[in-house]
Amino acid sequence: MNDLMPVAVFFGSIFTSNILLANYLGMCSFLSVSKEIETSAGLGAAVIFVMAVTTALNWLVYNYILLPLGLDYLRFIVFIVVIAGFVQLVEMIIERISEGLYAALGIFLPLITVNCAILGVSLFMVIRNYNFINSFFFGLGSGIGWFLAIMAMAGIRKKIAGSRIPRGLEGAGITLIIAGMMALAFMGFSGMINVT
């Protein structure tokens, strides 16, 4: 029933409907973590991975378990449990197999459960009626979009670190203004891909 192409969903979710800049999701960790480039890269990478997998998992759970049983009204609880469980599992696996990876990603994983972008993507996928392939690419694209946005922000914040900013705008204020300008720039991408 859905004529949206996965490619369009993928690029759309990276650029035109960037999960952070157009849908405002994942702002809390975005504002606090974007001070440093390395931390941003770590968190961004973890978000891409978790978002792509949990969106696909939640699609399966929603369409094969919740809908047939008529329990779709429980989706908020179920989605968050799936996300929390998956994050916990990944943390355990990484901890056991690779110390380097754990040192790089491990500390970010608990942060992710409360990142509203992850749950948000799963909820959007239900509301927009995506099929499985589209859902996966939507999750992946949204993660990449989030990664791009936080990396760009971290870079800009590093550049302006020495600049003189009105006192009231220091910290959150200036970050929000930069985010606003980035949102404007990302809006320029709309119309880039034609879905017919």
Partner 1 sequence: MSKTGFYAERIRPVVVTAVLTAICITLVSAFYLSTQDRVKENEGLVLKRAVLFAAGLNVPATNQGINELYESLVTEDNGVFTVKDTSGKPAAYAFIQTGPGLWGEIGAVIAFDSSLSQFAGVDFISQNETPGLGARITESWFKEQLRGKVPPLKMNPEGTESSAPSEIDAITGASRTSEYALSLFNRAGERAASLKGGN
Partner 2 sequence: MAGKALKTFTAPLGKDNPVFVQILGICSTLAVTNNLKNTVVMVLGVMFTTTLSSFTFSLLRKVIPGRIRMIAETLIIATFVIIVDIVLRAFMPEIWQQLGPYVGLIITNCIVMGRMEAFAASNPPGLSLIDGLASGMGYAYVLVIIAFFRELLGSGSVWGFPLLGDWWTNWAIMIMPPGAFFMLAIFIWVVKGRSKE
Contacting residues toward partner 2, per CB under 8 A: 21-28, 31-32, 73-77, 80-81, 84, 114-116, 119-120, 123-124, 127, 166-169, 172-174, 176-177, 179-181, 183-184, 187
Binds partner 1 by CB under 8 A, chosen from 74, 101, 160, 165: 74
Q: Please choose which of partner 2, partner 1, none residue 26 contacts, taking the beta carbon within 5 to 8 angstroms, the exact cut-off set by kind.
A: partner 2
Q: Please choose which of partner 2, partner 1, none residue 190 contacts, taking the beta carbon within 5 to 8 angstroms, the exact cut-off set by kind.
A: partner 1
Tell me whether residue 97 or residue 127 sits nearer to partner 1 (CB atom): 127
Tell me whether residue 7 or residue 81 sits nearer to partner 2 (CB atom): 81
Task: Tell the smallest beta-carbon distance from residue 60 to partner 1 (Å).
Answer: 20
Three-state secondary structure of the chain: CCCCCHHHHHHHHHCCCCCCCCCCCCHHHHHHHCCCHHHHHHHHHHHHHHHHHHHHHHHHHHHHHHHHHCCHHHHHHHHHHHHHHHHHHHHHHHHHHCHHHHHHHHHHHHHHHCCHHHHHHHHHHHHCCCCHHHHHHHHHHHHHHHHHHHHHHHHHHHHHHHCCCCHHHCCHHHHHHHHHHHHHHHHCCCCCCCCC
Task: Tell the smallest beta-carbon distance from residue 95 to partner 1 (Å).
Answer: 21
Question: Which of 47-55, 107-115, 143-151, 188-196 is the region at the interface with partner 1 (rule: CB under 8 A)?
Answer: 188-196
Binds partner 1 by CB under 8 A, chosen from 64, 129, 173, 184: 129
b/e burial code for range 56-92 (CB count within 10 A of at least 16 → b): bbbbebbeeebeeeeeeeebeebbbebbbebbeebbe
Q: Please choose which of partner 1, partner 2, none residue 120 contacts, taking the beta carbon within 5 to 8 angstroms, the exact cut-off set by kind.
A: partner 2
Contacts with partner 1 by CB under 8 A lie at 1-4, 17, 73-74, 77, 127-130, 190-191, 195-196
